[in-house]
Structure formats: C-alpha cells, structure tokens
Amino acid sequence: NKGTYKHYMQKEIHEQPESLNTTMRGRLIRGGSSNGKNVLLGGLKDHLRTIRRSRRILFIGCGTSYNAALAARPILEELSGIPVTMEIASDLLDRKGPIYREDTAVFVSQSGETADTLNALEYALDNGALCVGITNAVGSAIARKTHCGVHINAGCEIGVASTKAYTSQIVVMAMLALAIGGNTISNQSRREAIIDGLFDLPNKVREVLKLNQEMRDLASQLVAEQSLLMFGRGYNYATALEGALKVKEVALMHTEGILAGEMKHGPLALVDENLPIIVIATHDSCFSKQQSVIQQLHARKGRLIVMCSRGGAASVCPGGASRVIEVPQVEDCLQPVINIVPLQLLAYHLTVLRGYNVDQPRNLAKSVTTE
Ligand code: UD1
Ligand code: BG6
C-alpha cells in the first residue's frame, strides 16, 4: 500500500524516520546508573566474546548492502581494533579468497536470499568461520543459515532500489560496532556520543527530508545530463558509491562514485565546465582534505554541487561559485545515514522527470537469486 505516495521508492525514502526507530527499538539503553548508555543486540549476546577474539572481520554483500557495510567499516575498526575487510560476494567466490576459523564473516543482505551472498555464506561455513547475518527478511535463507545475527527490522521494502534498508543496515552495523567494542574508560565518551546520536537520528532524518523540493529543483537542472560524478571519502566514500548506484539504477543516468583521495589518479581528467560533480564535504576529520579537493575541482572550472554541514556553505564555496546542499550535522560515523537521503531524493526526482519506471527499473530484480 503506497498510501498518499505515487511510488514505493518515494514512500520508503520518506518513512526512514519511522523505519530507523523500529530498527533501534529495544536495542538502545540509556539511563540505569550502573552501566550508563549501552546497546543490546539480542541475537549476538552469546557470541560477542567469540567475535571479539576473532583475528579479522569480513563484511560480505552485494549492491547496496555492500555499500552499507562500507559505511560502517570505519567505526567498527575504530571501536573494535579488529581489521575489517570488505568483500563483494561474487568476487570472494571468484577468487576463493582465504577464510579461516579465526575469522568472523558478516553477511549483509536485505532479502537474505541473494545467490552470491548465500554461496559465500556456504563457503565461509565450510571454512569454519563464525558467520553472522545482518538481514531484513526474517526466516530468509541467510538468516537461517548464519550462526547468529541481527534483523534490521526496517519493514518490508518493495522498491527495487534499496533506500530504507540501507539506512537501517548502517545503524545496525554501528550498533554492532558498539556491541563488539565493549565499554572501556578510554572510549566511553565516544560511545555515549554515538548512542545519543542514534537516539536523535530519526529527528535529523526528518529534517533532511525537508530538502525534497530543493532536490527536485536540482533534478530538473540535471535531467538532460549524460553523466554525473560523486566524490566522497572516509565515512562518506560509501555515500558516493551508494548515491551513484541510486542514480544509475533508477534514473538510468551514468553516475560514478569516486573516492576523493583517488581524484588525481585519473578522474581529474574528466573535469570540465560541463560535467556535474557532487562533492560530499560534511564536517568530519576529512573535511580539510575535501576542501582542497573542492579548490582543485574549482580551479579546473568543475561544475560543483557541494554537500556540506548546515551553516558551512561559506567554507566549501570558493568564490561562491558552487551550488550547495546543506544537511544537519550528526556524529561523524552516523553522517552517512543523513547524507544519503538527499541523493535518494535526487535519484527519485530524476527518474520521475526522465519518465522512467521508479519501482521496477529495467533489467533489474529486487532479489537476485541466480549467480
Ligand atoms: C527477538 C525477536 C523479537 C523480540 C525480541 C525480544 C524474532 C525474529 N525476533 O529480537 O521479535 O521482540 O527478541 O527480546 O523473533 N539471526 C541470525 N541471522 C540473521 C538474523 C538473526 O541467526 O541474519 C538470529 C539471531 O541470532 C537471533 C534470532 O535470529 O537468535 C533473532 O534475531 P533478532 O530478531 O535480531 O533478535 P532480537 O532483536 O533479540
Ligand atoms: C539487488 C537489488 O540487486 O540486490 C539491490 O536490486 C540490492 O537493491 C542487491 O542491494 C543486494 O540485495 P540484498 O537483498 O542481498 O541486500
């Protein structure tokens, strides 16, 4: 049921404040003087000790689920101190990449039925790794075959392009990082800031959704373009990849997500006064590096659209030339949840304006159950 919305993708973008609330319900603890703020993931509590002892954590997924894991990787590494490696499921299988008993393999899948991810799970089980699922569909193959896991509880997602599952996956993996990281004196204030940030996140998503009309206007300016680039780094490298995936899969416009640190190793050659470039430059520890990326793109007359933290337009706009998208600022590791929303809206409006099928993009399926 689409209610008052025209498309499921539109509905699912706009229901993210509620889906995130459901994802976190009963899993965040605030108050109780003895243990303060904490997270409780019922499905993992008996396995946390094993996970903490693992030599490596592998994130394995496809498409949007892979991007969500990429967004969560920095905070998991920071809080756990365990090396985290990223695997696209098909590539792991193509290489027969080594997996050991001392590994924890985390399988991220909205549907829980993606063939490549499921085959990678069988492979990791055969190799003796602890296998953890992050799934939306209760009772799905991946949820059943993993040793343990967390349901993201985002509610049924119908649009082929994943939106609300993406933000719920990131939130669950941030909670996973908090759970694995445990409570030490040295990281206590960081943990508390993240937990406070999680509590407030649905409100901040509600705020960023107010950019709907602005993104519609931007879409109308970009509607006839052939190509679009998105630059991100750090926590928001994933945002660039996922934003590009959204535009490409539904609006059928060639869009590339680029790691800003790689700009000079090729992508810079594409820059001219015609090609639109979205640069994600919200406030975090990478901000000054992104400022210099913006300056270099500007020096080559790049057609810039800069996403920055609210009130930060002056610091990202050399000569006032760029168009800016100002978003609310949240804790750095949660910022990808905010930053993807305007890009989801952009992809949606571009698709409608270009006259393509929003909920059922050509050639694509919601769940890819063959290799
Ligand atoms: C569970 C209940 C929830 C109830 C809550 C109360 C289910 C599905 N969930 O939620 O209805 O309100 O207790 O305490 O009944 N799992 C996997 N792989 C996955 C996902 C999950 O093995 O990919 C396993 C978990 O390890 C766990 C079970 O499935 O044993 C349920 O997981 P989850 O729904 O996340 O657990 P709770 O949040 O505790
Ligand atoms: C398909 C979907 O390609 O599978 C994507 O169209 C999704 O939206 C991908 O990201 C992976 O699916 P899942 O269910 O494993 O997360």
How far is it, in rounded angstroms, from Cα 138 to Cα 90? 23
Question: What is the structure's pLDDT at 184?
Answer: 81
Cβ(42) – ligand 1 distance below 6 Å: yes
* pLDDT tens string 4-54: 999 999 999 999 999 999 999 999 998 765 557 899 999 999 999 999 999
* CA 270 to mean position of chain CA atoms: 26
pLDDT band of residue 317 (cuts 50, 70, 90) is confident
Question: What is the structure's pLDDT at 321?
Answer: 73
Question: What is the structure's pLDDT at 368?
Answer: 94
Q: Give yes or no for residue 267 having a pLDDT over 70.
A: yes
* pLDDT tens string 130-140: 999 999 999 99
Question: What is the structure's pLDDT at 33?
Answer: 55
- For ligand 1, the distance from its centroid to the CA atom of residue 114, given in whole angstroms, is 20
329 CB contacts (<8 Å, ≥6 apart)? 282, 283, 309, 310, 335
Question: What is the structure's pLDDT at 138?
Answer: 98
Closest CA to 251 of 279, 277, 219: 219
Residues 65 and 241 sit within 8 Å (Cβ to Cβ): no
Cβ(336) – ligand 1 distance below 6 Å: no
Cβ(43) – ligand 1 distance below 6 Å: yes
**Cα distances (Å, whole numbers) of residue 364 to 145, 244, 252, 360, 369:** 26, 16, 12, 7, 12
Half-sphere exposure of 151 (CA within 13 A, CB side): 17
Ligand 2: which residue has its CA nearest to atom 15? 109
Closest CA to 79 of 239, 237, 234, 194: 194
The sign of the torsion formed by the CA atoms of 305, 308, 313, 316 equals negative
What mean pLDDT is predicted for residues 239-243? 98
Mutational pocket test of ligand 1: of 150, 153, 172, 173, the residue with most ligand atoms within 8 Å of the beta carbon: 150
